[in-house]
Amino acid sequence: MESYSPLVDKIIRTAPEPALGPGTLNAAGMEAVESVAAEDLFPGGHIQDHDYAFCCLAACFLLQDELDRAHQLAQQVETPSGSFWHGIMHRREGDFSNAKYWFRQAGAHPVFDALKYEFGDDYGSPYSFVDRVEAAQAHNFEDKASCLEIQKREWTLLFDHCWEGAQ
């Protein structure tokens, strides 16, 4: 998607490249998202589906490396997309087995298929990608760049899915 709302565009524009792990809190980005309600992300505050809107807000916190707030929001959304964001957050914090649990809860999410189509065996599945990220964090520095590219695309595809679902 080219553009969201001015607020979301600002949140994305001010975000650093996310780390595979926890990363460093982006203070500038947090100023934009800190006191925002999910409805504030959308033009005119109009949303059709609150769960998708909460997912978008969780994604904005995740993008700022505010894993705790992302976690709080994602765990409130008992949908496949909420579980997907929850899994990403646990993968980023290094709780790999918990990440896999939440990816199982996401079921056959269409973003999994889109990532598999786009990256093939480099992505594989959400579970093999968790293993790959774990290995890259532990010792395989050459693989970090590829994992970061996939993670960035994963965020975009899932955010787009939730953005469209919310409206």
Q: What residues contact residue 34 under an 8 Å CB cut-off, 6+ apart?
A: none
Token pair 């926890």 in the structure block, residue: 22
Beta strands of the chain (E only): which ranges? none
Look up residue 60 and give its two tokens. 């904005």
The pLDDT of residue 107: 95
Enter the pTM of the model.
0.94
Token pair 């998708």 in the structure block, residue: 52
User: Dihedral of CA 12/29/17/111: which sign?
Assistant: negative
Summarize pLDDT for 82-135 with one digit per residue, the tens: 999 999 999 999 999 999 999 999 999 999 999 999 999 999 999 999 999 999
Domain ranges for the chain: 47-166
In angstroms, the CA 137 to CA 144 distance is 7
